[in-house]
A and B are shown apart, each in its own frame.
Chain A
Amino acid sequence: MAGASRNGNGGLGTRALLWTLPVLLLTLYVVPFAGVISWSVTQPEVGFGQYWRILSGGDMTNVFLRTLRIAVVSTAITILVGFCLSYYWVMGSRLRQTILEVCIFIPFWISVLVRAFGWLIILRDNGLANGFLMATRLISEPLGTGRNEFAVIVGMVHFMVPFSVFPMATVMRKIDRRILLAAHGLGADPATVFRKIFLPLSMPGVFAAFVMVLVFSVGFFVTPAILGGGRVVMVAEAVFVQMFQTTNWGLGAAMSVVLLVLIGAIVGLAYRLLGLRSFVG
């Protein structure tokens, strides 16, 4: 017992276990982040010129505005599609539940590159979508579905939907079915039960999913870079271009710092407005 109390709670061994990961993260992640910030104000010259370039309304401001626009549109679509899937995954018959679960989990585990590639095959100008529409004579000229915002949004929505389902389904699963039955027993038809009871009770999950998907979309890199084909440049791809093609490290670093601040603001705002304790915790 003496040994146990010496090595027990708060002992040296326990403290070493606890602090290894935070100390490593501090040295290998937080300290280099200070280095990135120093790049952003010293490359190529000392000052806030790079930040000014991002905020002053020029080409880089446009990249940020385009990113926000695409992120908001694809988040809204993702939540609609994800809600529909979550509802039937949680409330549907057992067969429906199993089928939907399989359809949600298969893309979830498949690499983002493979999924973007699949959409490239479908949406490029001589791809499957145009081929099908022309063969059925619905259109006579190929539609411009590749390398534009449409393709980027389709690919992003496809990537996000499985992620959006999990927080929504978790909240829906906790809704007490007896409340729904009680409302029905008191004379409400299914549509009213859904609108007045189910929908309000599932809103915390919808908000959590919305914030998570929005944060993901704002920082998206792979899907826009492949499906946008260099024509729909979002912030993350612009950072890559600045670092490795125009080698303007200062601008790349400044953009990545602004992106981080933007995402911090989104999460902070959501926390304040919606009280998303469950999302942060």
Chain B
Amino acid sequence: MMFGRSRLGGVLAYLAAAFLLLPLAAVIPVSFTAKRFLSMPNGEWSLRHYRSLFEDGAWLSSIGTSVSIALMSSVLATALAIMFGLGLWLGRPRVGAFLVGFALLPMVVPPVTSAIILYFLLARLGLLDTIPGLVIGHAIMTMPFAVVAMLSAFAKLDRGLDMAARNLGASTGQSIFLVVLPNLKTGTLSAWFLTFMLSWEETTVTLFTSGVEVITLPKRIWDNLRLNVDPVIAAISVVMVVLTTVVIITRALARHRLSPSG
């Protein structure tokens, strides 16, 4: 008896999968159009939009802005999450569950409410439309995801490690830096990567708190989609889709080969 082998159900699942990939495939032909507006390449294929992506300073500088904000805010969010996780793990405070719930607030609150809150904050601090302002905003928005990733890493960590290190004469600091943190490498890396990606594509808070002096890539794409759609967006989309697809297929193939057949 095999489950999950029904022909009709399988067809439905593949239809659902095709639905997921359809809009990503749709951007590919449009990116090769020779025209200056959004259209299918009618027999005439061109790389002009890819060229302008790399030659137009505005797009490049937005990519640079997005990458640097994502780098800074993800390091900040991950560092805060590590400190918080360490405090919980070492101290085992009675208010721990409450504090975790509190730390996850920006993930549960609707993004647009967070965006107004951060608009209010940054206006008061005089940091609207600045890179430090966006770094603060993105760090707050992405921090809960880093906390989730770090807490699941801490949950898998053996308490015996810390005790053994202390029994052997290590101070708390030595135990943290030489024993605990090196054992959290994978969790830290996934927390950092997740917060980096979330900041890289963050749109709601960015639209509320910047847009004249500091223009991130999502903000530039947003403006283009709302005003007149430049096919350069299709070229950017294709680049992102191809990069993501390569990474995910490589990973899936590696796992498919590693797992025992069955």
Q: Which residues from chain A sit less than 8 Å from chain B, CB to CB?
A: 1, 3-4, 7-11, 13-22, 24-25, 28-30, 32-33, 35-36, 39, 81, 84-85, 87-94, 96, 98-107, 109-122, 128, 131, 158, 161-162, 177, 180-181, 184, 190, 193-194, 198, 215, 218-219, 221-222, 225-226, 235-236, 239-240, 243-244, 252-253, 256-257, 259-260, 263, 267, 280
A240 touches B208 (CB 8 A): yes
A102 touches B171 (CB 8 A): no
Most buried by B among A21, A87, A115, A259: A21
Q: Find chain B residues with CB under 8 A from A32 CB.
A: 117-118, 120-121, 124
Q: Find chain B residues with CB under 8 A from A87 CB.
A: 4, 9, 13
B20 touches A92 (CB 8 A): no
A121 touches B102 (CB 8 A): no
Subset of 9 A-B contacts with CB under 8 Å: A28-B140, A88-B10, A106-B20, A114-B240, A120-B225, A161-B16, A190-B3, A221-B112, A257-B113
Q: Is B103 an interface residue (CB 8 A)?
A: yes
A21 touches B81 (CB 8 A): yes
Give the residue of B26, B103, B200, B203 whose beta carbon is less than 8 angstroms from that of A221.
B203
0/1 string, B219-260, CB within 8 A of A gives 1: 001100110010001101100110011011100100110010
Q: Find chain B residues with CB under 8 A from A10 CB.
A: 91, 93
A24 touches B30 (CB 8 A): no
Find residues 186-206 in chain B having any chain A CB closer than 8 Å to their own CB.
197, 200-201, 203-204
Q: A18-B88, A25-B103, A106-B21 are in contact. Are A36 and B1 (CB under 8 A)?
A: no
Question: What's the dominant secondary structure at chain B's contact region?
Answer: helix
Q: Is B50 an interface residue (CB 8 A)?
A: no
B91 touches A114 (CB 8 A): no
Q: A32-B118, A33-B117, A128-B26 are in contact. Are A117 and B233 (CB under 8 A)?
A: yes
B117 touches A222 (CB 8 A): no
Question: Which of the four size classes fits the interface of chain B?
Answer: 35 or more
Q: A21-B81, A24-B80, A158-B20 are in contact. Are A236 and B13 (CB under 8 A)?
A: no
B1 touches A84 (CB 8 A): no
Q: Find chain A residues with CB under 8 A from B171 CB.
A: 3-4, 7
A-B interface, 6 closest residue pairs, ranked by CB to CB distance from nearest = A118-B23, A18-B87, A91-B4, A219-B110, A17-B87, A103-B17
B20 touches A107 (CB 8 A): yes
A14 touches B87 (CB 8 A): yes
Q: Is B156 an interface residue (CB 8 A)?
A: no
B196 to chain A, nearest CB (A): 12
Find residues 89-146 in chain B having any chain A CB closer than 8 Å to their own CB.
90-93, 99, 101-103, 105-106, 108-114, 116-121, 124, 136, 140, 143
Q: A259-B113, A260-B110 are in contact. Are A92 and B244 (CB under 8 A)?
A: no
B165 to chain A, nearest CB (A): 10
A28 touches B121 (CB 8 A): yes
Give the residue of A35, A102, A104, A177 whose beta carbon is less than 8 angstroms from that of B249.
A102
Most buried by B among A8, A30, A215: A8
Q: A17-B84, A118-B23, A236-B204 are in contact. Are A113 and B218 (CB under 8 A)?
A: yes
Q: A18-B84, A25-B102, A85-B13 are in contact. Are A240 and B207 (CB under 8 A)?
A: yes
CA distance A221 to B113 in the complex (A): 11
B262 touches A236 (CB 8 A): no
Q: A162-B20, A222-B204 are in contact. Are A20 and B84 (CB under 8 A)?
A: yes
Q: A113-B225, A263-B110 are in contact. Are A98 and B256 (CB under 8 A)?
A: yes
